[in-house]
């Protein structure tokens, strides 16, 4: 594919409507999604071409548009909106356009000035480059030329993804190189040479694998492995496939940010990309501080060492918020091409959709439902389709898992963003205000949530966990539904209106909810439960629930299950194989046996 055009163009401003600027071409050509700079005095405001009509075009400006006047000069770059891909991304906090916020803060202090354009990767940083290819080798797009160490991973430097033919290695470097250094020179069949830098650009709105599939370097695979989050309700009842898609919708205060943070820390991935897409600045600052200080259980370092944060809060420009999610997913795709497992957390896609709605309104496009653009559904599907599992030419497998949180106003799951997302993803973890109000964590409602990966991952769980695992999970899920029906009946008739048999079923469902579906996010043991311990806990719960109990009165049943719940909660917070764990387990079995 072509990233740059061969001719330059000049233009001037015709009008301004919020962050939308209309320009008129003086000469040359213009591309959709081309980067332009609106010149206001000494400031160059970055923008992107959204629509072209003859010799006129509309730009969305990624900065405050105050001061832009009719006739101002517009500089067209000839390049698509792109990000820089190379070593040094991990541990960095960027804005929606991949400007490192730490560098901007050093330049401007507390309040960031507009018009700043800072290099995404430190040009003076040195990297130890180890070549894999040698002079004379024939390579194609995406093939690995060499590696450099980046934190805990070996960062693969690849042939540019836009290469359209086989090329021969003419020369290749070795040793300590700067970020902007050339690491190899390749020769095309036509004889033209091409220098390959350590860092390559890629347009954010184009999936990376697209050009590589033409060279048969990658094949998209069906996800067959679960993303182990160590959160019991997710891994057991609503699993997410590694390389799959999921959404976490819920009202404000239901715990979306906490749940995403713990998934990022404990799940089975190599790289985490967090896109703070329009969230409140306070929540983003809290995430940044926690990730910087939090120990990483996978690497032994800090969680931030394998994390990239794209920070575009609600107080930042709307247009940059819309671009931020594409910046994040392109970085995720890049690490997936190295054979790594990547998790992208988008918080929240509702703010991203609202940014599109605002821009669409200013472009005077025909609105869809609730004034969202008519192409909202298509935009959401296109975004989530960029997740997936790829098998590379060297036999390695890389995955990109996309989990987006949705913040529907008033917790209304019928609004357009939630509905379009539900029609796209294969796992829905619906957060309930009522459960959050009761201090349940996670506040995932087991009666409205679902996962289409349950059937897809049946073989894994039956082989790696337990042969009867899926059957047992289905039975426990039915128990939760039966318990909810009985609870609704008691809301009308009271406990006197149901039989003691139904009351015991209700108590069993409540027990399962309290001891298995709920976890303590502040307890060092219960906050993260490995799959092996989940299996042991679930099978114990199942054994206790399937037992036949004889109670003469409902009060006797309530007392028994209350005591059983207390003992089981103590078991959940006891380290595996500790003396306390063995003692609580014995007390639970003794209590069940004598009742």
Asked if 374 and 367 touch (Cβ cutoff 8 Å), the reply is yes
Helix (H, G, I), strand (E, B) or coil at 185: strand
Asked if 50 and 59 touch (Cβ cutoff 8 Å), the reply is yes
Tokens found for residue 133 = 């290819």
Q: What residues form DSSP beta bridges with 2?
A: none
Strands 307-312 and 271-277: parallel
Question: Is position 147 annotated in a ligand binding site?
Answer: no
- Helix ranges (DSSP H) in 294-398: 318-336, 349-362, 376-384
User: What contacts 122, CB < 8 A, 6 or more positions away?
Assistant: 88, 179
In angstroms, rounded to a whole number, what is the distance separating the alpha carbons of residues 3 and 14?
A: 27
Tokens found for residue 504 = 């015991």
Strands 388-392 and 218-221: antiparallel
Strands 341-347 and 397-406: parallel
Question: Is position 332 annotated in a ligand binding site?
Answer: no
Beta strands in 417-494 (DSSP E): 427-428, 450-451
Residue with tokens 């192409």: 375
In angstroms, rounded to a whole number, what is the distance separating the alpha carbons of residues 281 and 379?
A: 26
Question: Is position 67 annotated in a ligand binding site?
Answer: no
Question: Is position 255 annotated in a ligand binding site?
Answer: yes
In angstroms, rounded to a whole number, what is the distance separating the alpha carbons of residues 249 and 79?
A: 36
Beta strands in 412-487 (DSSP E): 427-428, 450-451
Is the Cα dihedral 42, 45, 49, 50 positive or negative?
negative
Question: Is position 256 annotated in a ligand binding site?
Answer: yes
Whole-number Cα distances in Å, 429 to 30, 240, 248, 481: 43, 10, 5, 16
Question: How many Cα atoms within 13 Å fall on the side-chain side of residue 49?
Answer: 26
User: Can you give the C-alpha Rg of the chain in angstroms?
Assistant: 27
CA angle 342, 573, 514 (to 5 degrees): 85
Whole-number Cα distances in Å, 121 to 178, 381, 393: 11, 31, 28
In angstroms, rounded to a whole number, what is the distance separating the alpha carbons of residues 139 and 137?
A: 6
In angstroms, rounded to a whole number, what is the distance separating the alpha carbons of residues 476 and 232?
A: 13
- Helix ranges (DSSP H) in 176-255: 209-214, 232
In angstroms, rounded to a whole number, what is the distance separating the alpha carbons of residues 267 and 239?
A: 12
In angstroms, rounded to a whole number, what is the distance separating the alpha carbons of residues 487 and 572?
A: 26
Of 358, 344, 316, 401, whose CA–CA distance to 96 is shortest?
316
In angstroms, rounded to a whole number, what is the distance separating the alpha carbons of residues 422 and 406?
A: 10
Question: Is position 408 annotated in a ligand binding site?
Answer: no
Residue with tokens 């430097």: 157
Q: Which residues are annotated as a binding site for ATP?
A: 250-257
Q: Which residues are annotated as a binding site?
A: 250-257
């Amino acid at each position: 594919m072509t990233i740059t055009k061969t001719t330059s163009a000049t233009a001037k401003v015709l009008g301004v409507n919020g962050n939308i600027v209309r320009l008129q071409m003086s000469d040359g050509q213009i591309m959709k999604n081309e980067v332009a700079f609106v010149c206001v005095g000494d400031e160059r405001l970055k923008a992107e071409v959204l629509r072209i009509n003859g010799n006129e075009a509309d730009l969305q400006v990624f900065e405050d548009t105050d001061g832009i006047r009719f006739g101002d000069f517009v500089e067209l770059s000839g390049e698509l909106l792109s990000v820089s891909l190379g070593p040094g991304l991990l541990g960095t906090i960027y804005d929606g356009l991949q400007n490192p916020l730490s560098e901007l803060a050093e330049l401007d202090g507390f309040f960031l000035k507009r018009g700043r354009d800072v290099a995404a990767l430190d040009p003076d940083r040195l990297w130890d480059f180890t070549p894999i290819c040698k002079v004379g080798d024939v390579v194609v797009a995406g093939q690995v030329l060499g590696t450099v160490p980046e934190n805990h991973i070996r960062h693969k430097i690849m042939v540019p993804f836009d290469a359209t033919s086989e090329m021969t290695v003419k020369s290749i470097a070795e040793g300590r190189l700067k970020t902007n250094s050339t690491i190899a020179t390749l020769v095309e069949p036509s004889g033209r040479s091409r220098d390959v830098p350590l860092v390559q650009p890629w347009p954010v709105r184009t999936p990376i694998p697209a050009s590589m599939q033409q060279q048969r370097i990658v094949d998209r695979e069906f996800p067959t492995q679960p993303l182990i989050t160590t959160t019991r309700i997710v891994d057991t009842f609503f699993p997410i496939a590694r390389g799959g898609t999921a959404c976490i919708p819920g009202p404000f205060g239901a715990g979306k940010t906490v749940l995403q943070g713990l998934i990022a820390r404990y799940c089975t991935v190599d790289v985490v990309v967090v896109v703070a897409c329009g969230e409140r600045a306070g929540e983003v600052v809290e995430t940044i501080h926690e990730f910087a200080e939090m120990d990483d259980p996978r690497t032994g370092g800090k969680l931030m060492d394998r994390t990239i944060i794209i920070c575009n809060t609600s107080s930042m420009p709307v247009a940059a918020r819309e671009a931020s999610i594409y910046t994040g997913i392109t970085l995720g795709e890049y690490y997936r091409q190295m054979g790594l497992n990547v998790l992208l957390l988008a918080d929240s896609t509702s703010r991203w959709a609202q940014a599109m709605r605002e821009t669409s309104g200013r472009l005077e496009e025909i609105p869809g439902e609730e004034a969202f653009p008519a192409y909202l559904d298509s935009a959401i599907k296109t975004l989530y389709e960029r997740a997936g599992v790829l098998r590379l030419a060297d036999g390695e497998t890389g995955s990109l898992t996309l989990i987006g949180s949705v913040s529907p106003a008033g917790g209304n799951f019928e609004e357009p963003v939630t509905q379009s997302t539900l029609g796209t993803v294969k796992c829905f973890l619906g957060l309930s205000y009522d459960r959050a109000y009761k201090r349940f964590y996670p506040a995932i409602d087991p009666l409205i949530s679902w996962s289409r990966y349950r059937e897809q991952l049946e073989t894994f769980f039956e082989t790696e966990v337990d042969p009867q695992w899926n059957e047992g999970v289905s039975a426990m899920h039915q128990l939760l539904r039966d318990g909810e029906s009985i609870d609704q009946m008691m809301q009308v008739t009271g406990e006197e209106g149901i039989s003691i048999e139904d009351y015991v079923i209700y108590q069993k469902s409540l027990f399962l909810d309290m001891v298995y579906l709920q976890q303590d996010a502040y307890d060092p043991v219960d906050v993260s439960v490995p799959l092996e311990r989940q299996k042991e806990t679930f099978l114990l719960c199942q054994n206790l629930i399937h037992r036949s109990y004889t109670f003469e009165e409902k009060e006797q049943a309530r007392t028994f299950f209350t005591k059983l719940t207390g003992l089981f909660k103590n078991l959940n917070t006891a380290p595996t194989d500790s003396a306390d764990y063995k003692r609580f387990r014995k007390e639970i079995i003794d209590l069940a046996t004598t009742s």
